[in-house]
Amino acid sequence: MTIGQRIKQARKANNMSLRSLAEKAEISAMAISKYERDLDIPSSSVLLRLAQALNVSMDFLFRPYTISVRLQAYRKHAALGVKEQEAIQMRIQEWLERYLEVESLFPDERRSVNLPVYSIQAIEQVEDVALSLRESWNLGLDPIENLTQVLEDQGIKVGLVSGFEHFDSCTFMADGIPVIVSKAELPGDRQRFNLGHELGHLILDIKEELDPEPACHRFVGAFLVPAQAVRFELGSRRTTLDMNELYLLKHKYGMSMQAWIFRAKELGIISENAATRLFHRFRANGWHRQEPGEALSSEKPLRMERLIYRALAEDVISRSRAKELLGEPLQLHWVAEAFQQDGVAVGFGH
């Protein structure tokens, strides 16, 4: 990728127009347009101003490695505009390039992808698919404590994007690598639902006559809480469900209270009318937007970060390079404080 293409990528990732970048960098919009189209090459001083205006490092502008990102399944609100979608795509591409560059430092750590594909002709088949995937991944029937970690362990790249109100999640394949990206500013139950929904898009081969969205919705519930576990927790037949009961189950299985109601309804544990009454109560109290009680903690992808700290510890990269690859300041101070409390001096080098 050329320097001009990197400038354009960073500008779109920041959702900036040519004019706004020109004003911030104090460079003419015409000049920037020429740089982006590779009709001219910026000087070192101009590159520095552009990097500062775009909040990127000089290393980013000279990074040779590139990967093509084409978003497929896309959970978003109608209000998400074209420019915002471009910004999201550019941010994801930049993050994925850093991730793959980090991974290339340790070829032996490259995870093989374990992602079977299942054909379904009826939505009810999703229940068996969820069980088959759990068996393939050796998950049993217990609650999944950290879904992000499970996905990373199976070779799926998981990322978070912040700053876009109307974006939920997306998934795509990049050079044969499955990638799932979710909105960062979400409570844990909504984040896990997004990850599970996009996983459904990756593994379900859905016949044309079926709507993929309800199928992926059904898959999330069946994967997070298999039917056997639902009946174990709720019983086989109920007239209604208690709010405290739903709250405790949410925190045990990492699935929202409303998703539990859906799950009970689709398995025939409660009637359609009982589910409607419960959903009406949620809406009347505003709980459909923010469920009552303590929110479930969100999950954070950690594999890329672990590899960066490993490279730093083994003197493969410098601290400045680690910071650039991580995309944020290094979080080392808490480690030092912990050792200092034990009277041990810690030096991180570089």
Tokens of 309: 């700290």
First to last CA, the chain: 29
Confidence tier at 72 by pLDDT (50, 70, 90): low
Which pLDDT does position 234 carry in this prediction?
98
Cβ(253)–Cβ(143) below 8 Å: yes
Cβ(168)–Cβ(183) below 8 Å: yes
> Does 23 map to a domain?
yes
> Does 54 map to a domain?
yes
pLDDT digits (tens, 9 = 90+) for 176-212: 889 999 999 999 999 999 999 999 999 999 988 889 9
Which pLDDT does position 11 carry in this prediction?
86
| Packing angle of the helix pair 188-203, 126-136 (nearest 10 deg) | 100
Distance CA 197, CA 119 (A): 16
pLDDT at 253 over 90: yes
> Does 299 map to a domain?
no
List CB contacts of 40: < 8 A, sequence separation 6 or more: 31, 34
> Does 2 map to a domain?
yes
Cβ(220)–Cβ(259) below 8 Å: yes
pLDDT digits (tens, 9 = 90+) for 279-338: 999 999 999 999 999 999 999 999 999 999 999 999 999 998 898 888 888 875 455 455
Choice among 26-30, 53-57, 258-262, 295-299 with the minimum mean pLDDT = 53-57
> Does 37 map to a domain?
yes
Instruction: Give 183's strand partners.
Output: 161
Domain of 48, in residue numbers: 1-64
pLDDT digits (tens, 9 = 90+) for 161-173: 988 888 889 998 8
Residue with tokens 């969100």: 298
Q: Is 35 exposed, middle or buried (0-12, 13-18, 19+ CB in 10 A)?
A: buried
Cβ(49)–Cβ(24) below 8 Å: no
Residue with tokens 């362990």: 153
Report the share of the chain in percent with pLDDT over 90: 55
Closest CA to 186 of 163, 170, 202: 163
> Does 259 map to a domain?
no
Which pLDDT does position 83 carry in this prediction?
81
> Does 251 map to a domain?
no
Find the CATH number of the domain harbouring 39: 1.10.260.40
What is the pTM for the complete model shown? Answer: 0.80
Q: Is 260 exposed, middle or buried (0-12, 13-18, 19+ CB in 10 A)?
A: buried
> Does 125 map to a domain?
no
pLDDT at 131 over 80: yes
How many domains, the chain? Answer: 1
Residue 13 DSSP SS3: helix
> What amino acid occupies position 263?
R
Which pLDDT does position 331 carry in this prediction?
73
Residue 161 DSSP SS3: strand
pLDDT digits (tens, 9 = 90+) for 26-49: 999 999 899 888 888 888 888 889
